[in-house]
């Protein structure tokens, strides 16, 4: 850890907290984050040349494993032809066509450069389309860092939210209703009270930002029904789940069709990209066709599009998701068994290539239940695993990601390490 520590101290002098995105700083688990020098397949190496089996996967994009040779080649070839034009290209049509083809709910799509831009723009579009101001989001879902989304539930039932970040005036969150995930009655009550003022509901259809939390049966259908009944736009934020939980995201797994979908992460194969798309009649309200403004200097960036296109082609091969889900299932089953034999209160869940680890007896269904887990035990487990060369997400409130490069041997080694880590919790 010598060089990592030096680098962290050096980083802290010029970069706030030493990181360019807060969860990287290890604030919740404590200690110094490894500085990554390179990554390949299921592995990352830090500045001290220590190798880790990686379950962060750049927080989702690395579904093929890191630095897949075909993706790297596509990026190199695109780069030679110019890094950015600020003008339309054929490759971005191909990416749009591929997204429209793979996700039936998307009739038109606009590319942006991050998930935050995608959700921010989708919400503006929903408001412009409906002419309404209010939006519904759910406690524990993260949709990027746009002002009106950095919000927690207000003090009373069905009151508008309070900012969770300094620098966000309460007026900016005054139109955001924050409800409990999986609470159908709460959604119905909100629509009963404010139905004709609600522009949209935005939801992570499988939540991955409060650890992994699945929707209970009927929850997503209730959102669909209420939005249809009251003329609100249903936005599935599939930035994390899109092409991660299956070939058509959560919408493919459940058959529930959103009006708009936001994407990022996997569709960029590790390069900065995001997208929002959906019904043609709604997308027609975006500039230059309509009055809802949205733009980006680097939108549809040719290098990012090349990485995304190649990634999407590779994951479109037959059997890809069956194998990804099987590997994730083996990991989760192995971890459960290891915890049980160490006598640690533990549960785990997975959907496609994403998983959740919980230091509690039962899989949680809400932020409150996730928060009731034993965070201190997680933090100890995390460091015991990290020291042994397994890199889980550095927070009890994050999901984990398996790539197609995580073979049986890698998973068996992970489970062996986890066994030792669980044993440390219960000596
Ligand atoms: N929505 C969801 C569901 C996410 O998981 C994230 C990022 N983790 C975002 C939006 C924001 O994406 P980005 O970090 O690319 O801005």
Evaluate whether 257 touches 236 at the Cβ level (below 8 Å): no
Locus of tokens 């798309």: 277
- Predicted interface score ipTM higher than 0.95: yes
Q: What is the pLDDT averaged over residues 248-257?
A: 98
Averaged confidence pLDDT in the chain: 97
Please tell me if the CB atom of residue 116 comes closer than 6 angstroms to any atom of ligand 1.
Answer: yes
Evaluate whether 304 touches 113 at the Cβ level (below 8 Å): yes
Residue 83's pLDDT is 98
Evaluate whether 109 touches 323 at the Cβ level (below 8 Å): no
Which are the catalytic amino acids?
A: 142, 237, 265
Going from the Cα of 142 to the center of ligand 1, the distance in angstroms, rounded, reads 7
Residue 1's pLDDT is 65
Backbone angles phi, psi at 111, to 5 degrees: -90, 140
Q: Under 8 Å CB-to-CB from 122, ≥6 apart: which residues? A: 200, 202, 235, 260, 262, 276
Going from the Cα of 59 to the center of ligand 1, the distance in angstroms, rounded, reads 9
Locus of tokens 């049986």: 408
Q: What percent of the chain has pLDDT over 70?
A: 100
Q: What is the pLDDT averaged over residues 180-207?
A: 97
232-245 pLDDT, tens digit per residue, is 999 999 999 999 99
Indicate the Cα dihedral angle 362, 188, 195, 280, nearest 10°: 60
Going from the Cα of 239 to the center of ligand 1, the distance in angstroms, rounded, reads 6
Please tell me if the CB atom of residue 397 comes closer than 6 angstroms to any atom of ligand 1.
Answer: no
| Residue to mutate, 118, 120, 142, ligand 1, most ligand atoms under 8 Å from C-beta | 142
| Residue to mutate, 24, 115, 238, ligand 1, most ligand atoms under 8 Å from C-beta | 115
Q: Under 8 Å CB-to-CB from 87, ≥6 apart: which residues? A: none
41-93 pLDDT, tens digit per residue, is 999 999 999 999 999 999 999 999 999 999 999 999 999 999 999 999 999 99
| Residue to mutate, 113, 143, 354, ligand 1, most ligand atoms under 8 Å from C-beta | 143
- Res. 154 pLDDT band, cuts 50 70 90: confident
Please tell me if the CB atom of residue 115 comes closer than 6 angstroms to any atom of ligand 1.
Answer: yes
Count of CB atoms within 10 A of residue 420's CB? 14
Q: What is the pLDDT averaged over residues 194-207?
A: 98
341-370 pLDDT, tens digit per residue, is 999 999 999 999 999 999 999 999 999 999
Structure tokens at 29: 């688990």
Alpha-carbon distance of 406 to 350, in angstroms, equals 15
Locus of tokens 């020098």: 37
Structure tokens at 349: 């869940």
Question: Minimal CA–CA distance to 242: which of 99, 390, 35, 393?
Answer: 99
Q: Is 218 left (phi over 0), alpha (psi -120 to 50) or beta?
A: left
- Which helix (H) or strand (E) covers residue 339, if one does? helix 320-342
Atom 1 of ligand 1: nearest residue by CA position: 143
Question: In DSSP terms, which residues pair with 177 in a beta bridge?
Answer: 136, 160
Q: What is the pLDDT averaged over residues 14-25?
A: 95
Residue 161's pLDDT is 86
Question: What is the spatial order of strands in the sheet that 134-138 belongs to?
Answer: 108-112, 274-278, 260-264, 233-237, 198-203, 134-138, 176-179
Residue 156's pLDDT is 74
Locus of tokens 């020291």: 387
111-136 pLDDT, tens digit per residue, is 999 999 999 999 999 999 999 999 99
Residue length, the chain? 427
Alpha-carbon distance of 61 to 41, in angstroms, equals 12
Going from the Cα of 256 to the center of ligand 1, the distance in angstroms, rounded, reads 21
Evaluate whether 239 touches 260 at the Cβ level (below 8 Å): no
- The domains found in the chain, sorted by start residue, are 2-67+318-425 (3.90.1150.10), 69-315 (3.40.640.10)
- Res. 426 pLDDT band, cuts 50 70 90: confident
Locus of tokens 């709910």: 105
Count of CB atoms within 10 A of residue 151's CB? 25
Q: Under 8 Å CB-to-CB from 255, ≥6 apart: which residues? A: none
Question: In DSSP terms, which residues pair with 275 in a beta bridge?
Answer: 111, 263
């Amino acid at each position: 850890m010598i060089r990592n520590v030096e680098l962290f101290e050096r980083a802290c002098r010029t970069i706030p907290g030493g990181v360019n995105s807060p969860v990287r700083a290890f604030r919740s688990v404590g200690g110094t984050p490894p500085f990554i020098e390179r990554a390949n397949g299921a592995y990352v190496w830090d500045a001290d040349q220590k190798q880790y089996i990686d379950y962060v996967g750049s927080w989702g994009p690395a579904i093929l494993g890191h630095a897949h040779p075909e993706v790297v080649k596509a990026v190199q070839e695109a780069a030679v032809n110019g890094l950015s034009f600020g003008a339309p290209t054929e490759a971005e049509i191909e990416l749009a066509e591929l997204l429209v083809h793979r996700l039936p709910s998307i009739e038109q799509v606009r590319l942006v450069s991050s998930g935050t831009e995608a959700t921010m723009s989708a919400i503006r579009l929903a408001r412009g389309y409906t002419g309404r101001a209010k939006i519904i989001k759910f406690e524990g879902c993260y949709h990027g860092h746009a002002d009106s989304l950095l919000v927690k539930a207000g003090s009373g039932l069905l009151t508008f939210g309070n900012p969770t970040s300094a620098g966000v005036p309460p007026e900016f969150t005054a139109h955001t209703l924050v409800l409990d995930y999986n609470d159908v009655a709460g959604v119905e009550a909100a629509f009963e009270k404010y139905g004709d003022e609600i522009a949209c509901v935005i939801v992570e259809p499988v939540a991955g930002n409060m650890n992994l939390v699945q929707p209970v049966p009927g929850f997503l259908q209730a959102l669909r029904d209420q939005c249809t009944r009251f003329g609100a736009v249903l936005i599935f934020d599939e930035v994390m789940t899109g092409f991660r939980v299956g070939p058509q995201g959560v919408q493919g797994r459940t058959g529930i069709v959103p009006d708009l979908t936001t994407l990022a992460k996997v569709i960029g194969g590790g390069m900065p990209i995001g997208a929002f798309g959906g019904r043609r009649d709604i997308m027609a309200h975006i500039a230059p066709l309509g009055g809802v403004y949205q733009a980006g200097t680097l939108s549809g960036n040719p290098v990012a599009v090349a990485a995304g296109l190649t990634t999407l082609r590779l994951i479109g091969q037959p059997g890809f998701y069956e194998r990804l889900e099987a590997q994730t299932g083996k990991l989760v089953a192995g971890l459960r068994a290891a915890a049980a034999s160490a006598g640690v209160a533990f549960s785990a869940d997975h959907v496609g290539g994403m998983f959740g680890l919980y230091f509690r007896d039962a899989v949680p269904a809400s932020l409150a239940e996730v928060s009731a887990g034993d965070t201190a035990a997680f933090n100890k487990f995390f460091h015991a695993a990290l020291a042994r060369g397994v890199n889980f997400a550095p927070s009890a409130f994050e999901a984990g990601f398996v790539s197609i490069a995580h073979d049986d041997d890698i998973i068996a080694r992970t489970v062996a390490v986890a066994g030792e880590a669980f044993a440390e919790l219960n000596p």
